[in-house]
Amino acid sequence: MKAINDYVRTGEVEIHYLIERDYRADNHWHMVNLADCVIWSRRESKWTIFADLDERIYMTNYTGNILHYVREVKNNTIGSIQFRQQWILKTELMPEKYQGDDQVAFSGDSPRLIRPQIEKWMPTHRWHNSSAIGPPGHTAKCIVDTSKVFIMFIHYVTQFYPGKDGDYLNMRVEPEEGIIRRSGEKLIEGSD
């Protein structure tokens, strides 16, 4: 939660608490969370990234960053930009907890993450052995224009609103332009 609170502190993340009135399986909560994010981000920003904290969009041969990439989308029928996924293969587990002055500094009761130590453990910085890129649509993640999205699933838009200029579309990004890299907690077999 400390890492999430740091994102909240910098204004990069907003937390919404959902009240559980009935028992709901975890995967059903996931759909509620996605719908909540679509609704809350609508009219807040042009584009919203639907990805996990252990995933990182990586622009491969594209010469700009993610913001430059989405700003170049001029086709008004594009409602979703979909990235294929690649898995980062770890050779060690990440620390369960960051300890020591070189990892987390405290200001009053709230922790302040020190970037150099955290960056040392960021999976995309620490490990470079990766899987092949997944097939189109398989565990993909999207950047969407939520003003055009009616229903969002974990990996793709399930339904767009009817478009003024025709039906809204999903644009698949070629791996040569960008991919999403995911770490999870998978280790290379035989590693400690």
In-domain check, residue 10 = yes
* H helix or E strand, kind and range, residue 152: strand 149-152
In-domain check, residue 192 = no
Length of the chain: 192
Number of domains in the chain: 1
pLDDT at 101: 46
Spatial CB neighbours of 169, under 8 Å, sequence gap ≥ 6: 75, 77, 78, 79, 80, 160
pLDDT at 43: 82
Sign of CA dihedral 150, 151, 154, 155: negative
In-domain check, residue 143 = yes
Show pLDDT as tens, one digit a residue, over the chain (192 residues). 667 787 788 887 788 777 776 677 766 777 888 888 899 888 888 999 998 878 889 999 998 899 999 999 999 999 999 999 999 888 887 777 655 545 444 555 665 555 556 667 777 778 888 889 999 988 899 999 999 999 999 899 999 999 776 799 999 999 999 999 988 665 555 544
In-domain check, residue 20 = yes
In-domain check, residue 175 = yes
Which range marks the domain in which residue 27 is found?
A: 2-94+103-187
In-domain check, residue 169 = yes
